Amino acid sequence: MIIGLIGFGKVCQNLVKLIKSDDIRFITSKENRSKSTIESIDNSDVDVVSSFREVAAKSDLLISATSPASSIEIAKKYGKCVKGIYLDLNNISPESTLEIDKYVDNLIDGAIIGKIDSDNPTLYISGKSADELLFLNDFLDVVVISDKIGDVAILKLLRSTYTKTLSALLIESYQIAQNYNLEDEFFDVISVTEGDDFKNHSLSRIKNTLANSKRKSEELNEIIECFSQNELIMVKAALDKFSRL
C-alpha cells in the first residue's frame, strides 16, 4: 500500500513514525515546500516524488493535513487524481468538508484526537468507506463514527470550541499571574482541583497556542461560520484574544 501525504507538519510526521509496516510505503513531494519542511522530509523514511499531482495519482490512501485555509484548494487540485481513499484531517467545518466532497470521489472525514505527537493518538473517521481504514488499528486507535461525511467535522469543531476558548482563558490568567510574579502559585492553587499534571499540561498548551495562534484563529473562524446560529460569546472572545497575541 502507498500512503501519500499532502502536508508534512507534526500530524503527518507522527503518522509516519507510528505506521510502520513492510507493506506500507509513504510518499510526498518537496514541491513549493519551505526549507524547514524539506529538512523534516529528508530526515524521515518518506519517499519523495516530483509533484503533489504524482503523490495523489500514486496513492492508495492520500492524507491531506495542511491547514483549514488551504484544505478546499488542495482538494480542488488533487482530489480527482486519487484512485483510492482521500482522508482529510484538517480542522474544518462540516460545510467545508461537504465542499471538499464535490472534488473527491472517495472522501473520508477524519480527525486526530489527542496530542499531535503522542504515541497513542485516536483517529476518528466518518464516511461510506470508513471501514476500509480499520487496518490502521494495528498502529493507532481508529474509531468509526458513522458513514456520513461531516459528522467528524462537527465533533472536531465542538472539541476546538472547548479547547481553544480554554487556551485563551488560560493564557490570559497566566499573563495576569506573571504581572504579580505569582506564576508558580497560580499553577499550585489550580492543581489542587485539576491534578498534579496541570502545570505541565498548561505550559505545553500555552506554548503551542502562542506558536500557532494564526492557525488556531483560522479554526475559530470556521467554528463561528459553522455555528453562526448560536451565541458563541466565548469563541468570539477567544478569537479576539488570539488576534492580540
> pLDDT digit string (tens) for 83-120?
999 999 998 889 999 999 999 999 999 999 887 778 88
- Residue 91 pLDDT: 83
In angstroms, the CA 242 to CA 183 distance is: 21
Note the pLDDT of residue 226. Answer: 87
- 126 and 176: one domain? no
Instruction: Using pLDDT thresholds of 50, 70 and 90, give the confidence band for residue 76.
Output: very high
Helices 151-179 and 198-211 pack at an angle, to 10 degrees, of: 100
pLDDT for 67: 85
pLDDT in tens, 197-236: 999 999 999 999 999 888 889 889 889 988 999 999 999 9
Residue ending a domain, choose from 146, 171, 197: 146
Under a CB-based contact definition with an 8 Å cutoff, are residues 183 and 164 in contact?
A: no
Say if residue 175 is in the same domain as residue 233: yes
Task: Write down the mean pLDDT value for the chain.
Answer: 93
The pLDDT, as a whole number, for residue 14 is 93
In terms of domains, do 91 and 203 share one?
no
First to last CA, the chain: 43
A 10 A CB-CB count for 189 gives 12
Q: What is the CATH number of the domain that holds 109?
A: 3.40.50.720
pLDDT of residue 69: 85
Smallest CA-to-CA distance from 66 within 102, 96, 43, 98 is with: 96
- C-alpha 72/C-alpha 97 separation (Å) is 8
- List the domain range (segments joined by +) for residue 97: 2-146
The whole model's pTM is what?
0.81
Residue pair 125/142 in contact (Cβ under 8 Å)? The answer is: yes
Helix (H, G, I), strand (E, B) or coil at 61: strand
Residue 118 makes CB contacts below 8 A (sequence gap 6+) with 14
Gyration radius of the chain's alpha carbons: 19
Task: Read off the pLDDT band of 245 (50, 70, 90).
Answer: confident
CA dihedral 218, 113, 154, 217 (to 10 degrees): -10
At 155-195, the pLDDT tens digits run 988 998 999 999 999 999 999 999 999 999 999 999 999 99
Residue 32 burial by CB count (10 A; 0-12/13-18/19+): exposed, middle or buried? exposed
Domain boundary among 93, 113, 146: 146
The SS3 call for residue 117 is: coil
160 with 136, same domain: the answer is no
Report the pLDDT value the prediction gives residue 68, as an integer from 0 to 100.
83
CATH code, domain carrying 174: 1.10.1040.10
End residue of a domain, out of 102, 119, 146: 146
**Whether residue 38 is found in the same domain as residue 121:** yes
